[in-house]
Amino acid sequence: MTALVLFSGGQDSTTCLAWALARFERVETIGFDYRQRHRVELDQRSIIRSEIVKLDPQWAARLGDDHLLDLGILGEISATAMTRDIAIIADEKGLPNTFVPGRNLMFFTLAAAVAFRRGLRHLIGGMCETDYSGYPDCRDDTLKAMQVALNLGMEKNFVVETPLMWLDKGDTWRLAETLGGKALVELVIEATHSCYLGERSRKWDWGYGCGACPACQLRAGGWKKYRAEKV
């Protein structure tokens, strides 16, 4: 009953962290600095970790170490809107240039290496096929294949968990409330970061961001759906 959460500091990974803390006896977190344009998300990670344990005494007892890995090479070899100051557009196939090739595959490989050393079995990520923006490395088939490869390559029995895989953003807001009540929803609003441009000077009902990038639009749309269902 041990888990390692891929924890970026965003809405989805924070919800996954709460999900893990509600289920596993020991939970550690891992983040990656790949020179992302929105590196402000990394600054939010420690804030979220320090605040989320205040929501439940069991969560405080279960949350273990954090690991932040330098993955600058990924930023160097990527020419994307997530790692360069360029406009966000889609190619002829509809794949947005916010897609960082190999990112989630590298994340899970390195997370598994850390989990191997730390004795952690479950690898938890916030990937979602419902709202995955066309990213092929967020698909359920990709991550199931990744689990097979990791277990074959490391002679382990890792379980890749994706609790948000079939949820839309409205469902993700609802899951946060189910896990941690209004306090967790408020923590997601105040502390998490999703905006691709790294904008935190403007606050909306759903949190901080530019309000126009795909990540902000997705988060805002989910918030609107979540709030409408509560009326």
pLDDT tens, residue order, the chain (231 aa) = 999 999 999 999 999 999 999 999 999 999 999 888 778 899 999 999 999 999 999 999 999 999 999 988 877 777 776 766 666 666 666 676 667 778 899 999 999 999 999 999 999 999 998 765 678 888 999 999 999 999 999 999 999 999 999 999 999 999 999 999 999 999 999 999 999 989 999 999 999 999 998 899 999 999 999 999 876
Q: Other CB atoms closer than 10 Å to residue 148's CB: what's the count?
A: 12
So what's the pLDDT on residue 84?
66
So what's the pLDDT on residue 127?
93
So what's the pLDDT on residue 76?
79
Q: Other CB atoms closer than 10 Å to residue 25's CB: what's the count?
A: 11
So what's the pLDDT on residue 32?
94
So what's the pLDDT on residue 99?
72
Query: What is the residue whose two structure tokens read 């002679």?
Result: 155
How much is the pTM?
0.93
CA-closest candidate to residue 220, choices 126, 131, 138: 131
Q: What share of the chain is helix, strand, coil (3-state, %, to 5)?
A: 50, 15, 35
So what's the pLDDT on residue 94?
67
Class of domain 2-230: alpha beta
Q: Where are the domains of the chain?
A: 2-230
Query: Which one-letter amino acid corresponds to residue 9?
Result: G
